[in-house]
């Protein structure tokens, strides 16, 4: 039985155009599914998830924008491309902001359309294969972790607070030969200093007042699995010396013990602190740093992962909606623009917390920008109003140049891209990211 090609959903009321598209795709090895109006598509799409969806903007029962609003959140990462005979920039901007990937005008070349959709499906399949995200910066991190997963070397994850260091450590563990063994995460900053040594290395019965039974520490309980030491920069100097001996000698003593025990686990450490500065200040041992940072891996801030912000938000919405028993239709297009525009100083942790609050307190079925950023809706801002960041200035300049180019090209996105000497896909990405308004 021949292998089925990628599924393309077609929403097109014109019988000649619809039949032509079906024939073109079949010849190229695709599996076309044709719906003649928006209502048919909306009924069928929840049970048939195509690899890509193309939709006419003008349908007999509704507009393509109605289809996008109704189905956009449920289609997830499925690329959506709109076809229209009316090259209206207002429509193009609204559709791109609402989640469309591309926009083509009639008449168009069938071979070029199929080539473009093939590229979109290939990119989607690559993104689906990615576990940590689809932004280039995090995809590179994932590739690095996959390359080093089979090794025994210590890994040092660096990145701002909330950037997903524990998620990366768990991913490294699942890709390694130790995947079926324990993964233990220890937040070195969360354990009181007077208990830290006992919790990490364990203690013998009677080692100190209150030690009524022998206690196995993290380094013993982890066995031959992976020990993740988060916020390792917060370890006191005396424990840094003991951790160094553990890594170099692969043995340890319980507190109050005299028998050397073998350490078998792999260590992954993480910090958001400036370790180099702490070495200079003599609050962190340089020899321990070199022992931990055999393979350093830097995690990007969320603001440098634009492609991941909305997909992560959608995933968190789904998780919290299920947990809270809420029936939500998704995130509004305007809210998605607001999410992309936010600087995310708290990174993924901030995004998760904002989503949780939005899902818990939202009044409607669609999450709005006010649900995610109530401080803006109430007239307050976390930023000082008279200070603009360099990123804000850059975005404002790019937004203005795109608006000028669109005016010069009479709203033709492709011509505007040529004026600015960027690709069509880059232009659409910028329109989406910067929230360019039709005016």
At 271-288, the pLDDT tens digits run: 999 999 999 999 999 999
The reply to whether 1 falls in a domain is no
Do 308 and 202 lie in one domain? The reply is: no
Do 164 and 222 lie in one domain? The reply is: yes
User: What does the block give as tokens for 297?
Assistant: 């891996």
Residue 384 pLDDT: 41
Do 179 and 324 lie in one domain? The reply is: no
**Residue ending a domain, choose from 273, 299, 325:** 299
Do 182 and 218 lie in one domain? The reply is: yes
Do 351 and 419 lie in one domain? The reply is: no
Scan for tokens 């080692």, then name that residue. Answer: 207
100: CATH:
3.40.50.2300
Q: Which residues contact 265 (CB under 8 A, 6 or more apart)?
A: 219, 222, 223, 224, 225, 226, 227
At 219-248, the pLDDT tens digits run: 999 999 999 999 999 999 999 999 999 999
Angstrom distance (rounded) from CA 124 to CA 49: 13
- What predicted TM-score, i.e. pTM, was given to this entire model? 0.60
Do 373 and 397 lie in one domain? The reply is: no
At 335-385, the pLDDT tens digits run: 888 999 999 999 999 999 999 999 999 888 889 999 999 987 654 444 443
**Residue ending a domain, choose from 129, 159, 175:** 129
The reply to whether 382 falls in a domain is no
Do 178 and 280 lie in one domain? The reply is: yes
Do 34 and 96 lie in one domain? The reply is: yes
Which domain, by its residues, includes 32?
7-129
At 131-189, the pLDDT tens digits run: 788 888 999 999 999 999 999 999 999 999 999 999 999 999 999 999 989 999 999 98
Long-range contacts of 395-403 (CB under 8 A, 24+ apart): 395/341, 395/434, 398/430, 398/434, 399/434, 399/435, 399/436, 402/427, 402/430, 402/431, 402/434, 402/436, 403/436, 403/439
Do 78 and 116 lie in one domain? The reply is: yes
The reply to whether 439 falls in a domain is no
- Of residues 3 and 322, which shows the higher confidence score? 322
Do 171 and 59 lie in one domain? The reply is: no
């Amino acid at each position: 039985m021949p292998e089925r090609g990628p599924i393309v959903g077609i929403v097109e009321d014109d019988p000649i155009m619809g039949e032509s598209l079906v024939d073109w795709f079949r010849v190229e090895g695709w599996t076309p599914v044709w719906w003649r109006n928006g209502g048919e598509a909306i009924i069928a799409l929840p049970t048939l998830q195509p690899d890509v969806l193309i939709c006419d903007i003008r349908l007999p029962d509704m507009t393509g924008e109605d289809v996008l609003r109704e189905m956009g959140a449920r289609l997830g990462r499925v690329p959506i491309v709109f076809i229209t005979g009316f090259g209206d920039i207002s429509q193009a901007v609204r559709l791109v902001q609402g989640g469309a990937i591309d926009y083509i005008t009639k008449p168009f070349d069938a071979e070029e359309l199929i080539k473009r959709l093939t590229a979109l499906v290939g990119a989607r399949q690559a993104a689906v294969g990615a576990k940590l995200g689809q932004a280039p910066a995090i995809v590179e991190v994932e590739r690095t972790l996959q390359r080093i997963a089979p090794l025994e070397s210590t890994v040092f994850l660096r990145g701002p607070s909330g950037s997903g260091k524990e998620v990366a450590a768990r991913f490294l563990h699942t890709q390694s030969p130790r995947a079926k063994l324990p993964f233990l995460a220890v937040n070195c900053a969360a354990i009181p200093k007077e208990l830290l040594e006992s919790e990490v290395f364990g203690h013998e019965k009677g080692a100190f007042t209150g030690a009524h039974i022998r206690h196995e520490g993290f380094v013993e309980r982890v066995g031959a699995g992976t020990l993740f030491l988060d916020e390792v920069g917060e370890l006191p100097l005396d424990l840094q010396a003991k951790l160094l001996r553990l890594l170099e000698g692969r043995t340890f003593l319980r507190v109050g013990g005299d028998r050397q025990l073998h350490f078998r686990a792999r260590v992954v450490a993480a910090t958001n602190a400036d370790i180099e500065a702490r070495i200079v200040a003599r609050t962190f041992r340089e020899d321990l740093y070199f022992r931990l940072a055999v393979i350093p891996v830097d995690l990007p801030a969320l603001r440098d992962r634009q492609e991941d912000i909305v997909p992560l938000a959608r995933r968190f919405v789904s998780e919290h909606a299920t947990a809270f028993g809420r029936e939500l239709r998704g995130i509004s297009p305007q809210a998605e623009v607001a999410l992309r525009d936010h600087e995310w100083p708290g990174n993924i942790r901030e995004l998760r917390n904002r989503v949780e609050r939005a899902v818990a307190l939202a009044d409607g079925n669609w999450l709005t920008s006010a649900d995610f950023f109530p401080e803006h809706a109430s007239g307050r801002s976390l930023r000082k109003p008279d200070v603009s960041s360099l990123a804000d200035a850059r975005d404002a300049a790019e937004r203005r140049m795109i608006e000028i180019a669109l005016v010069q090209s009479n709203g033709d996105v492709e011509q505007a891209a040529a004026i600015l000497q960027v690709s069509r896909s880059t232009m659409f990405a910028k329109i989406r990211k910067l929230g360019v308004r039709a005016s």
